[in-house]
Amino acid sequence: MSGIIVEYHPRTFEEFFLEPLKDFPNLAEDLKADFFSYKAHGELPSTFGRDASYTQPYSAYKAHLMHIHLKLPPETFPENLPQDDRKCTRRKDAAIVYVQGELEENLYCILGVLYPNAHAKAREDKIMRYLARLAQEFRDAH
């Protein structure tokens, strides 16, 4: 797929990036570059794991809200481990939350990084409904 465009959602940057940026100052630039390479060229970074949709709450599923398991530097997933088997443990878990445009499939919006405790945050109804609403707005616009 050519012409890939990756953007951060302007309304979620403070809430979902400031915490990980405290521990990983280069994360925003590195993550965007890695995400672009992953989507544009199929290059799987050593820090990217399983790429899957959220199924709960239903609004997240309906909005095609996605997440990628993420290892934060200096940690990486084993090189020979298939992507679907690359999962974070519940003690050291982070996830990239994103959505793809519905009609403009070359557009991606990174809504945030759930960190720390990505699994726990993904079970928080308020967080997930908020992200699902923003994802749906993005898909409706693109």
Q: Which residues contact 80 (CB under 8 A, 6 or more apart)?
A: none
The string of pLDDT tens digits covering residues 66-122 is 999 999 989 999 999 999 999 987 777 899 999 999 999 999 999 999 998 999 999
Q: Cα 127 to the chain's mean position, in Å?
A: 14
Residue-level pLDDT at 133: 98
Residue-level pLDDT at 22: 87
Helix and strand counts by DSSP (H, E) for the chain: 5, 5
Query: Domain residues of the chain, as ranges?
Result: 5-141
By C-alpha distance, which of 20, 26, 37, 14 is closest to 118? 20
Side by side, the strands of the sheet bearing 107-114 are: 5-8, 107-114, 95-100, 66-70, 48-53
Is the pLDDT at 33 greater than 70? The verdict is yes
Q: In the chain, pLDDT over 70 holds for what percent of residues?
A: 99
Q: What's the CA gap between 123 and 26, in Å, rounded?
A: 27
Q: Are 68 and 96 in contact (CB under 8 A)?
A: yes
Per-residue pLDDT band at 2 (split at 50, 70, 90): low
